[in-house]
A and B are shown apart, each in its own frame.
Chain A
């Protein structure tokens, strides 16, 4: 396995999905089963190749970064020496892991969709879009520079837009697609500005080149404040893509897309791109930028966890739980627990994709049962209409339970390992920096997560179904749907990541993914790795016991409320209706944005519309009417004076002609008379 060969393999991994896209978009309808088997098998190939890449990286090049760069645009004119754009890919440990995560989830979603989307109107187009999405995501993962990162970043936004709006006949779906795209743009502008700041200083966008220049003490515009600004601006891109506060509003709406798409894009890969971006930018982030990131993550985690408690749509609960977990990862990176944050990204990708696919399985079954009863009123996604599904869908139930245990941070699961590391990181950070609010929020959110996830499990699968006649027609989903569930459930267990079920530090993952060395000037750098590791080590056992305590408390309360009915949720909601409504309505974020930003935008648009209609159009119309009147006058002058003169001349000529034609009779003899008389007259004149 030479380095060259590995790079070629990764290029193949990058381009195979776009081939799948091209085949399906052009020939999809003519192929057998609309080409879903082609797309799925191509993804199986990329999964295999990325597995080989990870294996080789892990065993042969654990410390190296493989780089392949070529110059795309270069101006050799002396005054423009700085204008050069390099494109390239690199494989480091982050890349190798992300390749497998993206390809695995994408492959499983392809497989799941062959059943879930069966009979859809735009079946082949759906698979084509999955292909272009996978391509874009792999581009983000493989690139070695901010420029390509930005290009693929936008491509991911585009494919996300296409997939959310897959059922664009539904107004809510097309609105959600537009909302996702536009909200993402807001963050992307920040990211773009950040990249421009780096470009203006370093004249390159390659990560390693920027960081090596930064390590020699060159900072943007000679001021470390600009370095912080650049870091925060690039983080803005992550805020948009990873649905962080205050741009998190698009993700819940994006649930209008097909459920497997939610699993692929809005749980495991695209939203993880933001976290991946922070990981890539990590070496250049200053302490101040990291604190901003940590607080944004913590606020996001808290807000969305509280919202998730009051939602009743199964996908909305999962959407808010996703935002909350993304906040967790961002917070983890922000406090400096780099490996933990990234570890959580990987474990979360497995169990959250699983949760979404399992919810897809439930919705699929509910939909068919309702369809069988000709019931088109009941919402198949509302957990209030579910309950007692455990008996009918055992595989879905058990895998869902494993994912829930993982996301709640129960021991023996992967989620416990990664969450525990993040919590320890926040404790260490709180101790070192004095920002104690962050660990407090982190533990509170851990408890809330356990509570609302078990609420979801109990209401969906346990207890009894409200309407027994409906349950008869609920069946377990076919193998193509249950296989991904079982595989992801297995991947949510601890032994894939660490031999020790209560400590990830001994596992391969935490050694493989290590916190990169910060290259920012010492004065503005975050706590160094050694000191942080030391504090982390101390905080570890405390974090573990505390997290176990809050998780069990959350689970207990969930059971007490929804299973044993010791606590009545309705009573609590009735006692504090304002709080309940506040959470139910998602902290009124959408309404707030409607009233402020959107109202402002519409106001400005209206003003410009008025300006256009009155001022610009007025000027244009004024000019037009002046021209018209001038033309009218000029026309009159033409018609009356010029034409009158010309016509007059013609008329006079005509009159003369009329007179003269009398003389010209055509009779030669008349002429002779004229001649004779003429001669006679001439004779008398000249005599």
Chain B
């Protein structure tokens, strides 16, 4: 049995990863878990970039973009964690449901 890995497989993997990330972002009450969901979504996008780069474009532009995204994700994680830290200082919780002072 030959394993014929095609573009579709990558896209399916990426879609699953994205869905899991989205699920995490939507369902988790913990801000850190939400952040982690975002990381999953970003990585899903990375997989797409790399896959399209390999199978359709024929150059490495997509791979370059995915490296930028990784860098951005690192920055985002740093800033977002700092925000979460400040939220925790302000509200004594990181539960996103309870941080609703903008609502009123």
Contact = CB atoms under 8 A, between A and B. Distances in A.
A666 B100 contact: yes
A666 B100 CA distance: 6
A673 B22 CA distance: 9
Nearest to B26: A669
Interface string B19-42: 000100111000000100000000
A672 B103 contact: no
Contacts of A665: 100, 103
B103 A676 contact: no
A664 B102 CA distance: 10
A667 B96 contact: yes
B103 A669 contact: no
A669 B97 CA distance: 9
B48 to A, nearest CB: 16
Contacts of A673: 26
Given A665-B103, A666-B103, A676 B96 contact: no
Contacts of B25: 669, 672
Nearest to A673: B26
Interface in A663-687: 664-669, 672-673, 676
A668 B35 CA distance: 13
A666 B99 CA distance: 9
B58 to A, nearest CB: 27
Interface in A511-546: none
Contacts of B96: 667-669
A666 B102 contact: yes
Contact of A672 (B26, B100, B104): B26
A664 B26 contact: no
A667 B97 contact: yes
Interface in B1-55: 22, 25-27, 34
Contacts of B22: 672, 676
Contacts of B103: 664-666
Contacts of A676: 22, 26
Q: When A and B form their complex, which 9 residue pairs have the shortest distance between CB atoms, in order from nearest?
A: A666-B103, A666-B100, A669-B26, A666-B102, A672-B26, A673-B26, A672-B25, A667-B97, A676-B22
Interface of B: 22, 25-27, 34, 96-97, 100, 102-104
Interface of A: 664-669, 672-673, 676
22 contacts: A664-B103, A665-B100, A665-B103, A666-B100, A666-B102, A666-B103, A666-B104, A667-B96, A667-B97, A667-B100, A668-B96, A669-B25, A669-B26, A669-B27, A669-B34, A669-B96, A672-B22, A672-B25, A672-B26, A673-B26, A676-B22, A676-B26
